[in-house]
Structure 1
Amino acid sequence: MTNTDSIQSFFSPSCEVKIPEPTTELHSVVSRWSDSGVDLPAAVVVPSTEDDIIAAIRLAEAKGFRVIPGCGGHGSFVPIDGKTVYLDLKKLRTVSVDKSNDSVIIAGGALAADVLKACVAEGYYTLFPNSNAVGMIGAFLGGASSAFNGIHGFGIDNVLAIRLITASGSILTLTPSSTGEEASLFNTLCGAGHGLGIITSLTLTAFPISGLRLTDNKIWIRRTIFPPTAIATAAEVYMQLQPPAGPLVPILGFARAPPNSPAKGAPMIMVSLAYFGPREEAEQAAAAALAPDVTGQAISAATLAVPFANMNDGADAFNGHGGLKEMYTCMLESLSVASITRAFERWRRLGDEVEDACPRTYTIVGSWNTQALVASAAAAAGAGGADSKFYRHRSRGIIVQTTAWYGKPETKAAADEYGREALEIFREEDAKNKVAPASFANNLRFGLDLEEVYSRDMIGELKRVRQLWDPKGIFWSPVGDDRFR
């Protein structure tokens, strides 16, 4: 029996299975946001049923392989190699809104765009990521941060049920009322769930859009683009909006002008504001960004009324698959205009000095209202209480993600040097206040100290839960990978 026949024998004839040859072109079998850490897998399985997933688990157990699920492909820190059975969940993307229970049931392969559009069609929204192309389950496993953090808390504070296939092939339904070791598994999945099983469906609370009181049922968005000479002004505007009102979502970004613009490749600063409430309230909350002395320094300034279903479209330019991308992320309690200005200059210098990293490397600084977030977490129902969930840094309301995006492997050294220095700059205020470094679970990278994400006790519990539910290491987990500290 050939290796191909041997692998295929685990599956029903209706299950799509791809077994790459050494000469197979990588992107024909695996498409991910970043090609970092990706090689040809042993097999790609495209399940259409839970039985197909269980068969993949049996294959991995028999052959000494490791099962890694893929959805949006944005988990760039998860390694894929010749010992991997890659589960491409693209056939499992159904989304069902239950208006009678104000909930939404999300299949394991659904993207944020699938959930957004299905919910809006029924007059609802839920805690989806800020990018259309991100997988809902992957985002949930890291906490499920969204534009609504300041209103409803994280996705993990609003989970009603998790349907999970374990390493033994058992199917569990976990809820906030689960008990015993199932409660421990539920809590660990809520923020540290990578490698504890295959989630085939997730049920989250859904909220009526009408409750936001939007003007004309559209989202108020203000986008202001500044030239490099106005970096201090842009930074000052952003800092004046801290901490933001619960419905206000401020984002500061550094990016190069796109190829089709008159200033192709020129560095730009963007202050983007979204307000999930009436226009009049939005204008009051965002007054600092609307002042004439601010807009007078801008290249462009526009106030938009965006349909709810299109709220994430502004991030589509960053969703392209392929290339090499390294994410350097930190969670902050405090930030300063001086640090933002210095970080911008360091970002611009990378592009000026390293042509391979110039056109696409970008930085995003986002923030949310932590008082509303902490209050939501305290009130959230959960097995053992909200504090049992695996999200450590609820009091930090600023997240920085600077992404080096390049094409040549030899650029990695310059990218890593940039990433280290950029994070040091952004963390200056926290360092002065002796606040320990913190990172975000969904933006892990090799070499990261996991204690930036989880407490030592959390890491110990994560290892214990993993050993209990996956003793043979069928699934990949960062706590079982020595490339993390």
Structure 2
Amino acid sequence: MADSSFNNTNLLACPFSIPDPKASATKVVSRWSDTHVESPPAIIITPNSEEDVVSALKFAKLNKLTVIPAGGRHNPAIPINSKSLYLDLINLKSIQLDKQYSQVQIGGGALTGDVIRYLAQEGYFTTMANSNAVGVVGCLLGGGNSSQNGLIGWMADNIMSFRVVTAAGDIVQVSSSSKGEELALFNALCGAGHGLCVVISATIRIYPLSSLNLSPASKDDPSPSIWSRTLIFPPTAIDSAIDAFLAASPPPEPMNVIFGFSRGPPGTPFAGKPIVLLTSTYYGPASEAEASSVGARLLHPSLVEKAVKADTVQIPFANANNAYEPLNDHGGFKSMSSNRIARLSPRALKDAYGKYLAVTDKYPDAVRSALMFHSFNPSKLAELGATPEGEGRFVEARDRGFCTIGVMWSSEPATRDALAVLYDEAVTILQKDDEEAGLPRRVFPGIMKFLPGRRDLFSGEKLAELDRLQEKWNGDGLFWSPYKA
């Protein structure tokens, strides 16, 4: 399809469409959140190759459009409007396993669930996000928080190389062995990569599943599985749940512990009612999980008797994220934000819970919003950060073992605004102990609302380097960037 308002559509040998500017923007561009989908993009281009991407960038320059690369369509911080060239990478989703070199090359449009299932089938794993529908590359570019933090580090720690198309139209392979400006670009892509180039593919380190010594899913299913323990408490038991969560921190390296405030999902006995969650996963044998001090605490009758529901299950590795599928629905006003925290107090958690209850009581359409707290062992992160490679990558606060995650979900603009205030106020409460200890606030770049204060993302030195790299690689503003001053 062509339009006389655009120049040189003959540059595009791949599929493209020019939306009706009067059409509903959220119907033209379907993504996890309708937040910041302001109007239909000027054009949607679906490249089939890196050469198609080069052509798309040339087209964007000629028509003064801002390029928005789209992988998993889960980042609500990116604005879509009539000046956007929406570069849909859905056809660039290859997965190429290299067992000899213990790595996998993943296309820019590959989704997390597809990669997890493929690798598990082949007997491997790597660090991945906790949502099947999220784009792998998008997570890598934001650092990549995951359930494997304690074992193998962040996603950014496991990146071996990127193949990218720059704003100048050059196709470049960058890695930790690159030199000069290409090495600087690689390091920035490992944690603060949005808006610097288009990533065609990323090569990531992989590990044998057998190294985890996982227990079988069941007597009838020998597939390797993850031990998972979940307790649901009524609000009256929040003190016991908080005590158990904080006593479990930091957990053993293979373990994650998540504490959270939520409301019961539809179709359950707790539908719409406030609940307190305490759940744990263990990437090792079930017997080892239950013998650990944390596992024993979560199984202890004195805690279980306070819960309204307590389950222990073995989850086949390939199905690790399946329980979160309801959260992947497209549409509505959604946003996420995540902060790295070194210490949490019982008082702070309880005060944050009070704010959560007040807002979700007042706004019924906020029922699917939640405040979650991920606890993991940060020793591996700190160890990797002390290496020459780790020091250069754009991930900070490696010694902090808590990650707060706010999921703000509503259908009305007024509720969206109230939830944004809730999260900011809750974080102020939660980070009080860190601030008193002189620790700066740190937002995790990969999970950010629109938009955090720049000083909350990185140190002044890292921000200055990021500004320099933006000028070097995106000086004309071809790519939209969340990090520009």
**Alpha-carbon displacement from aligned partner over 1:161-189 (angstroms, at most 9, x marks no partner):** 11011011111111211011111111111
- 3-state DSSP of counterpart to 1:448: coil
Aligned CA RMSD, in angstroms, stands at 1.6
**Alpha-carbon displacement from aligned partner over 1:361-411 (angstroms, at most 9, x marks no partner):** 1111102211122113335xxxx5310111121111111111221111222
For residues 24 and 447 of structure 1, what CA distance do their matches in structure 2 show?
27
**Alpha-carbon displacement from aligned partner over 1:54-100 (angstroms, at most 9, x marks no partner):** 11101111111111111111211111111110111111111121111
* Offset, 1:333: 0.3
Q: 1:8-23 counterparts in 2 under 5 A? A: 8-12=9-13, 15-23=14-22
For residues 3 and 195 of structure 1, what CA distance do their matches in structure 2 show?
29
For residues 264 and 4 of structure 2, what CA distance do their matches in structure 1 show?
49
* Offset, 1:236: 1.1
Compared CA separation, residues 192 and 447, structure 1 to 2 (3 A): closer
**Alpha-carbon displacement from aligned partner over 1:180-236 (angstroms, at most 9, x marks no partner):** 111111111111111111111111110000000111221111111111111111111
1:395 corresponds, among 395, 399, 405, to: 399
Aligned to 1:266: 273
1:367 aligns with 2:375: yes
For residues 412 and 259 of structure 1, what CA distance do their matches in structure 2 show?
21
The AA in structure 2 aligned to 1:29 is: V
1:465 corresponds, among 457, 469, 475, to: 469
**Alpha-carbon displacement from aligned partner over 1:279-302 (angstroms, at most 9, x marks no partner):** 121012221111101100111111
For residues 69 and 445 of structure 2, what CA distance do their matches in structure 1 show?
17
For residues 145 and 403 of structure 1, what CA distance do their matches in structure 2 show?
15
* Offset, 1:258: 1.6
The AA in structure 2 aligned to 1:46 is: T
Q: 1:217-228 counterparts in 2 under 5 A? A: 217-228=224-235
The AA in structure 2 aligned to 1:11 is: L
**Alpha-carbon displacement from aligned partner over 1:91-142 (angstroms, at most 9, x marks no partner):** 1111121111111110100111111011101000011111111111110011
For residues 152 and 269 of structure 2, what CA distance do their matches in structure 1 show?
41
* Offset, 1:5: 6.3
Contact 1:29 1:44 in 2 (8 A): no
The AA in structure 2 aligned to 1:336 is: S
Aligned to 2:422: 418
The AA in structure 2 aligned to 1:245 is: P
Contact 2:340 2:400 in 1 (8 A): yes
For residues 305 and 188 of structure 2, what CA distance do their matches in structure 1 show?
49
Aligned to 1:327: 336
Compared CA separation, residues 307 and 2, structure 1 to 2 (3 A): closer
* Offset, 1:22: 2.2
User: Structure 1-normalised TM-score?
Assistant: 0.94
Q: Which runs of 5+ in 1 are unaligned?
A: none
For residues 333 and 122 of structure 1, what CA distance do their matches in structure 2 show?
37
Compared CA separation, residues 7 and 365, structure 1 to 2 (3 A): farther
**Alpha-carbon displacement from aligned partner over 1:390-440 (angstroms, at most 9, x marks no partner):** 112111111111122111122233222212211112212213323221111
Contact 2:26 2:34 in 1 (8 A): no
Q: Which runs of 5+ in 2 are unaligned?
A: 217-223
Compared CA separation, residues 469 and 328, structure 1 to 2 (3 A): closer
Q: 1:209-358 counterparts in 2 under 5 A? A: 209-216=209-216, 217-285=224-292, 286-357=295-366
Aligned to 2:97: 97
Aligned to 2:221: none
Aligned length: 474
**Alpha-carbon displacement from aligned partner over 1:248-292 (angstroms, at most 9, x marks no partner):** 011112221122123320111111100011112101222111110
For residues 8 and 249 of structure 2, what CA distance do their matches in structure 1 show?
55
The AA in structure 1 aligned to 2:267 is: N
Aligned to 2:434: 430
Aligned to 2:188: 188
Aligned to 2:63: 63
Aligned to 1:116: 116
**Alpha-carbon displacement from aligned partner over 1:305-344 (angstroms, at most 9, x marks no partner):** 1100011112222221111123343210000222212212
- 3-state DSSP of counterpart to 1:93: coil
2:452 corresponds, among 448, 459, 462, to: 448
- 3-state DSSP of counterpart to 1:73: coil
- 3-state DSSP of counterpart to 1:262: coil
- 3-state DSSP of counterpart to 2:443: coil
* Offset, 1:7: 6.2
Q: 1:375-390 counterparts in 2 under 5 A? A: 375-379=383-387, 385-390=389-394
Contact 2:76 2:450 in 1 (8 A): no
Is the deviation greater in 435-444 or in 207-216? Answer: 435-444
For residues 120 and 326 of structure 1, what CA distance do their matches in structure 2 show?
30
The AA in structure 2 aligned to 1:367 is: S
The AA in structure 2 aligned to 1:59 is: F
Aligned to 2:49: 49
For residues 294 and 262 of structure 1, what CA distance do their matches in structure 2 show?
21
User: Structure 2-normalised TM-score?
Assistant: 0.94
Contact 2:77 2:451 in 1 (8 A): no
Contact 1:329 1:423 in 2 (8 A): no
The AA in structure 2 aligned to 1:290 is: L
Contact 2:3 2:18 in 1 (8 A): no
* Offset, 1:447: 4.7
- 3-state DSSP of counterpart to 2:119: helix
The AA in structure 2 aligned to 1:205 is: R
The AA in structure 2 aligned to 1:182 is: E
Contact 1:77 1:443 in 2 (8 A): no
- 3-state DSSP of counterpart to 1:24: coil
Contact 1:140 1:190 in 2 (8 A): yes
